[in-house]
């Protein structure tokens, strides 16, 4: 029982969550309010810097995908694919259509396993009133099994082209080391056909979770492509008029450090912005296959949406997209004469963006004439989302009202943070050191 | 039978035992799986009638000590950490919450003491012998 004093909005409130749970990586939240106003709110990411960009210097281009995969055990494809495409730009390569299609497949595998894991085991317990997924599994066993089934299917897609689901080894500059056999593809098509209804049920379940409404004013940014729901190719667009090539990213986006976090904050022309499934739906809904759009309409989902918690429904719809579009691609599968395109290394700078499960990721590679890395930059989605997430926490708290108990305020903050599916480990990339000498 | 592991160091042990068992020819009903993450284990535990999980243990030694564990021997777990933190215990507890009977599972671990320990051929032989004995009709 909480007393009236416990809910006095003018009381001094200090909330300290020393270790955020059910997110990827480690971080903390510190929040202070006084006299009815939020005084300070920090999402503190205290994981040590990963230094991967430095590790890559001097490495041959062929080693980069294997090192890049180690940045993240949950979304290695995002790091591999973005670095590979950036280096292909340096080498002046045009993406082969078969390679393009298979890259969508392997990326769908990553989306499916990451999204299903997040909705099923991280986010859902928040909305169904359980402290963790094991407790939830005792009451909602069939729902948890359904999510695990989709997660396993995502891993199957990853394994088919990547060789294994964790730190895949099948990707290379130019394409893939090996093309799946027709028999392997046929097996996977059978699994995808069997999972189509499961995925529809999963979307309906996720869209029906009793999430709060959290209307926010934010800028959505995603890759947009003229012919497909963008994952690997296109231009960076926003719902406020941004429309740039990937190479223009460094001119418009700037990173800066803050004292309370080892992750950088990224700003577009000085303002925060939002990435991820909801941003993609807000910008690219009309490019979803008709079947996916129809399901969204049937469930009463509307995009674009300003409700941050629609991120869960958007994430679930992308699971269905992964099943439907993988089927479309794999049912027309043909063995290529060779699963990669030949090229000659040369010196230069390449930029590329792809859509990681959590949102757009940017890589820049500078190579010498032998194809060795001179410098690398990798900007993950979580650090790009960090400024927006803190703003979201502030305004969600104001809308919710400080006349709630500390425990209720804390619960809301954790829900808001998890809703971004943040990957705190990946967001801690290279820190710059500035020494002032007097 | 599932071996938990990865390609490097002492963590390779689970996979090495699965490889060795694969070469011996086991009864047809026995399926061997090399799992890279414990989370791959949960669906397998739900799908089989009897499960034996083989893993390396970072214990107090001596190196090479073998332990048989049952569900009751595993510590309690709450799946509250990130997926980076989903270990064998969490994967097993999730399977139990989803209906796996406790007596379905046996866990066979060998103490490697340090993650960088070299795997000894004698460790693999000892674990294979334990598994083979457990599979015999008189076990």
Q: Which CATH number fits domain B2-133: 3.40.50.300, 3.40.50.1000, 3.40.50.1450, 3.90.700.10?
A: 3.40.50.1450
Domain assignment present for A6: no
Domain assignment present for A19: no
Domain assignment present for A437: no
Q: From CA A396, how far away is CA A385, in angstroms rounded?
A: 16
> Which chain B residues have a beta carbon less than 8 Å from that of A135?
78, 97
Q: Give SS3 for A203.
A: helix
Q: What is the pLDDT of residue A12?
A: 77
> At A144, which helix (H) or strand (E)?
helix A141-162
Closest-CA distance, B80 to chain A, in angstroms, reads 5
Residue B31 near chain A (CB below 8 Å): no
Domain assignment present for A24: no
Q: What is the pLDDT of residue A207?
A: 97
Sign of the C-alpha dihedral computed for residues A225, A230, A234 and A236 taken in this order: positive
Residue B27 near chain A (CB below 8 Å): no
User: CB–CB of A314/A284 below 8 Å?
Assistant: no
Q: Are strands A37-44 and A28-34 parallel, antiparallel or unpaired?
A: antiparallel
User: CB–CB of A57/A373 below 8 Å?
Assistant: yes
Question: Count of alpha carbons within 13 Å of A376, Cβ hemisphere only?
Answer: 29
> Which chain A residues have a beta carbon less than 8 Å from that of B40?
152, 155, 165
Average pLDDT, chain B: 86
Q: From CA B105, how far away is CA B79, in angstroms rounded?
A: 19
> Which chain A residues have a beta carbon less than 8 Å from that of B42?
148
Closest-CA distance, A381 to chain B, in angstroms, reads 17
Residue length of chain B: 139
Q: From CA A191, how far away is CA B60, in angstroms rounded?
A: 44
Neighbouring CB atoms inside 10 A of A436's CB total: 4
Which of A137, A144, A149, A166 to probe the B interface (max B CBs under 10 A)?
A137
Cβ-defined contact of B78 to A164 (cutoff 8 Å):
no
For the ranges A392-396, A428-432, B49-53, B70-74, the lowest mean pLDDT is seen at A428-432
- Read off the pLDDT of each residue in A216-221 and give the average, rounded to a whole number: 95
Which of B82, B88, B93, B98 to probe the A interface (max A CBs under 10 A)?
B82
pLDDT, one tens digit per residue, over A156-214 is 999 999 987 777 889 999 999 999 999 999 999 999 999 999 999 999 999 999 998 88
> Which chain A residues have a beta carbon less than 8 Å from that of B80?
21-22, 131-132
> Which chain A residues have a beta carbon less than 8 Å from that of B84?
24-25, 73-74, 425
pLDDT, one tens digit per residue, over A381-415 is 888 898 898 899 888 888 888 888 888 888 888 88
Res B68 pLDDT > 60: yes
Sign of the C-alpha dihedral computed for residues A362, B83, A264 and A394 taken in this order: positive
Q: From CA A215, how far away is CA A140, in angstroms rounded?
A: 29
Cβ-defined contact of B36 to A164 (cutoff 8 Å):
yes
Which of B11, B80, B86 to probe the A interface (max A CBs under 10 A)?
B80
Q: Where are the domains of chain B?
A: 2-133
> Which chain A residues have a beta carbon less than 8 Å from that of B81?
21-22
> Which chain B residues have a beta carbon less than 8 Å from that of A195?
none
Band the pLDDT of A420: cuts 50, 70, 90.
confident
Task: State both tokens at A422.
Answer: 């943040």
User: CB–CB of B51/B45 below 8 Å?
Assistant: yes
Closest partner CB to B36 (pick from A25, A138, A165): A165
Cβ-defined contact of B79 to A138 (cutoff 8 Å):
no
Beta-carbon contacts below 8 Å between A and B: 62
Closest partner CB to A74 (pick from B43, B83, B98): B83
For A1, residues 6+ apart whose C-beta sits below 8 A from its C-beta are none
Band the pLDDT of A433: cuts 50, 70, 90.
very low
Q: Which stretches of A163-209 are DSSP H helices?
A: 182-207
Q: What is the pLDDT of residue B21?
A: 94
ipTM (interface predicted TM): 0.81
Domain assignment present for A112: yes
Instruction: Identify the CA nearest to B74 among candidates B109, B48, B50.
Output: B109
Residue span of the structural domain in which A357 resides = 52-386
Task: State both tokens at B116.
Answer: 């960088």
Q: Give SS3 for A25.
A: coil
Res A272 pLDDT > 60: yes
- Read off the pLDDT of each residue in B51-80 and give the average, rounded to a whole number: 82
Backbone dihedral angles phi then psi of residue B8, each to the nearest 5 degrees: -125, 155
- Which residue of B lies nearest to A21 if distances are taken between CA atoms? B81
Q: What is the pLDDT of residue A121?
A: 86
Angle between helices B13-24 and B121-135 (to 10 degrees): 60
Average pLDDT, chain A: 89
CATH assignment of the domain containing A368: 1.10.645.10
Using an 8 Å CB-CB cutoff, list residues of chain A that contact chain B.
21-26, 73-74, 117, 121-122, 131-135, 137-138, 141, 144-145, 148-149, 152, 155, 164-166, 425
Total-model pTM? 0.88
Res A127 pLDDT > 70: yes
For A285, residues 6+ apart whose C-beta sits below 8 A from its C-beta are A293, A296, A303, A304
Q: From CA A142, how far away is CA B98, in angstroms rounded?
A: 8
Selection from A254-258, A337-341, B133-137 with the highest mean pLDDT: A337-341
Closest-CA distance, A347 to chain B, in angstroms, reads 34
Q: Which residue has the tokens 């430095």?
A: A54
Selection from A313-327, A384-398, B63-77, B117-131 with the highest mean pLDDT: A313-327
pLDDT, one tens digit per residue, over B69-116 is 988 888 765 544 444 456 788 889 899 999 999 999 999 999 988 888
User: CB–CB of B51/B105 below 8 Å?
Assistant: yes
Q: Which whole-number Å values give the CA distances from A308 to A24, A234, B35, B54, in the listed order?
A: 19, 25, 36, 43
- Which residue of B lies nearest to A164 if distances are taken between CA atoms? B36
Domain tally for chain A?
1
Domain assignment present for A95: yes
Q: Which residue has the tokens 């359980």?
A: A130
Closest partner CB to B83 (pick from A24, A132, A141): A24
> Which chain B residues have a beta carbon less than 8 Å from that of A121?
79, 83
User: CB–CB of B103/B75 below 8 Å?
Assistant: no
């Amino acid at each position: 029982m909480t007393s009236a004093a416990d809910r006095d909005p003018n009381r001094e409130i200090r909330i300290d969550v020393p270790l955020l749970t059910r997110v990827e990586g480690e971080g903390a939240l510190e929040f202070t309010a006084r006299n009815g106003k939020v005084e300070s709110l920090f999402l503190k990411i205290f994981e040590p810097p990963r230094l991967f960009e430095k590790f890559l210097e001097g490495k041959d281009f062929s080693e980069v995908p294997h090192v890049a995969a180690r940045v993240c055990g949950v979304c290695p494809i995002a790091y591999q694919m973005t670095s590979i495409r950036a280096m292909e730009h340096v080498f002046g390569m045009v993406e082969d259509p078969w390679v393009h299609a298979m890259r969508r497949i392997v990326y769908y595998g990553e989306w499916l396993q990451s999204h299903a894991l997040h909705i099923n085991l991280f986010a859902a317990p928040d909305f169904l009133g359980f402290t963790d997924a094991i407790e939830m599994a005792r009451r909602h066993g069939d729902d948890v099994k359904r999510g695990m089934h989709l997660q396993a299917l995502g891993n199957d897609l990853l394994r088919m082209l990547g060789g294994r689901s964790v730190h895949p080894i099948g990707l290379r500059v130019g394409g893939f080391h090996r093309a799946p056999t027709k028999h392997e593809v046929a097996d996977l098509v059978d699994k995808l056909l069997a999972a189509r209804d499961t995925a529809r049920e999963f979307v309906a379940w996720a869209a029906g979770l009793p999430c709060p409404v959290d209307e926010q004013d934010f800028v959505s940014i995603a890759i947009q492509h003229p012919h497909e729901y963008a994952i690997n190719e296109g231009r960076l667009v926003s719902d406020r008029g941004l429309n740039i090539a990937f190479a223009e990213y460094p001119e418009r986006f700037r990173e800066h450090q803050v004292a309370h976090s080892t992750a950088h904050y990224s700003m577009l022309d000085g303002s925060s912005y939002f990435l991820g499934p909801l941003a993609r739906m807000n910008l690219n809904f009309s490019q979803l296959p008709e079947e996916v759009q129809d399901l969204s309409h049937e469930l009463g989902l509307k995009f674009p949406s300003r409700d941050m918690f629609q991120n869960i429904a958007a994430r679930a719809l992308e699971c269905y997209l992964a099943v439907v579009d993988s089927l479309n691609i794999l049912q027309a599968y043909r063995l290529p004469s060779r699963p990669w395109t030949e090229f000659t290394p040369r010196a230069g700078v390449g930029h590329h963006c792809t859509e990681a499960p959590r949102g757009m990721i940017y890589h820049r590679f500078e190579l010498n004439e032998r194809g060795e890395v001179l410098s690398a930059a990798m900007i993950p989605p979580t650090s790009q989302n960090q400024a927006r997430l803190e703003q979201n926490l502030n305004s969600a708290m104001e809308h919710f009202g400080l006349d709630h108990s500390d425990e209720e305020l804390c619960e809301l903050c954790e829900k808001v943070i998890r809703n971004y599916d943040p990957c705190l480990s990946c967001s801690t990339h290279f820190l710059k050191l500035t020494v002032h000498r007097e | 039978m599932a071996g938990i592991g990865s390609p490097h160091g002492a963590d390779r042990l689970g996979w090495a035992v699965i490889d060795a068992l694969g070469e011996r020819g086991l009864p047809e009903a026995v399926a061997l799986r090399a799992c890279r993450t414990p989370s791959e284990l949960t669906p397998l535990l739900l799908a089989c009638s009897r499960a034996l999980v083989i893993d390396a243990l970072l214990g107090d030694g001596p190196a090479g000590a073998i332990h048989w564990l049952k569900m009751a021997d595993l510590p309690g777990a709450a799946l509250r950490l990130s997926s980076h933190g989903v270990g064998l215990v969490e994967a097993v507890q999730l399977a139990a919450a989803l209906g796996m009977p406790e007596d379905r599972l046996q866990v066979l671990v060998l103490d490697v003491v340090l993650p960088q320990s070299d795997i000894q051929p004698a460790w693999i032989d000892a674990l294979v012998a334990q598994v083979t004995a457990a599979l015999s009709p008189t076990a």
